Amino acid sequence: MLCGQDVRRSGIWPTDESRIEAFLARYGGTLEAGPVGDAAIMLRWTHGDQTQCVTGVTARDALTKLKAEVA
């Protein structure tokens, strides 16, 4: 906790980076990440003319949702 916030929600951790790299190696495209207030992370995946946007409590949670939508 940092100033009342769970710091795991504030960014992408090294373990998340490796998951994201694996996702991009499999599906291609680009992936943007950003905070949604102080409660969530947003991931936006773009590949050609396809765009998917998901949110999750953590980057791992959001990436899990994104994989389910893309697959």
Q: Express each pLDDT in 17-49 by its tens digit.
A: 999 999 999 999 999 988 887 778 899 999 999
User: CA quadruple 57, 58, 61, 66: dihedral positive or negative?
Assistant: positive
12 in a structural domain: yes
Angle at which helix 14-27 crosses helix 59-70, to 10 degrees, equals: 10
Q: What residue numbers bound the domain in which 39 lies?
A: 7-70
Counting the structural domains of the chain, the total is 1
47 in a structural domain: yes
Is pTM beyond 0.85? Reply is no
2 in a structural domain: no
31 in a structural domain: yes
63 in a structural domain: yes
1 in a structural domain: no
CA–CA gap between residue 43 and residue 3 (Å, rounded): 25
DSSP 31-68: EEEEEETTTEEEEEEEETTEEEEEEESSHHHHHHHHHH
